[in-house]
Amino acid sequence: MGCLSTNATNGLCGPCRADLPVNHWHCRCCALPMAYPGDKHLCGDCLTSPPPFDCSFIPWRYQYPVDSMISRYKYKGQRKFARPLVTGFADFIGPALEAYGAEKPDILIPSPMYPSRRRKRGFNQARDIAESIGQAIDVPVGISIVRRVHKVQAQRGLNRESRLANLRGVFKVCSRVPERVAIVDDVVTTGATVRVLASVLREAGAQEVQIWALARTPG
């Protein structure tokens, strides 16, 4: 990613970075973008169906140019497009945790990808993001704590209920789960994947589950 400025850092200059769609107003639990000021509100879904995770830290909305940057990284393997977002997240997370009153997790758990899909894509973007952030903020990454044990229909285009049904029984915990964990992914869409994954980690002993992602789709 390059904005052609000679003052660019990690692919973007200050003004271009400032133009990214920051997720200022959002649900305080799932980080769903909201239409009114504040980060202390709960969205309708979190009120009627409280998720099995405690909080979410997602700095951008999944809108232009963040959506294009993530798509080129995720589907075309162009890692340079993720670099500004990953380094920006590493700068964002410390102050965000402090403002929320949360502690740094014991471990980062990338959302697992089924082996055949990972081979086809060439990498798991969630693991890639988690390893970069973990190295930057000195938090270990647990790449073998949870596995996907079933291949499922692609989630794109499904609503949350269909996604939840699609993911039933798909994750298996394979080793001890620390008390405080953060699930890492590139984008949270309906929240179905992180709900199911958080439930599995809770059942395996996690006392606090955070969600870390680069972007959140608007409602």
For residue 167, what pLDDT is reported?
Answer: 63
Q: Taking the CA atoms of 43, 47, 50 and 56 in sequence, report the sign of the dihedral they define.
A: positive
Report the Cα 67 to chain-centroid distance in Å: 14
Buried b (16+ CB within 10 A) or exposed e, 179-202: ebbbbbbbbbbbbbbbbbbbbbbb
Write down the pLDDT at residue 159. 61
pTM metric for this prediction: 0.90
Q: Give the integer Cα–Cα distance in Å for 38 and 51.
A: 20
Low-confidence ranges of the chain (pLDDT < 50): 1
**pLDDT digit string (tens) for 88-146?**
999 999 999 999 999 999 999 999 988 778 888 889 999 999 999 999 999 999 999 99
What is the model's pLDDT at position 5? 62
* Cβ-contact 105, 182 below 8 angstroms: yes
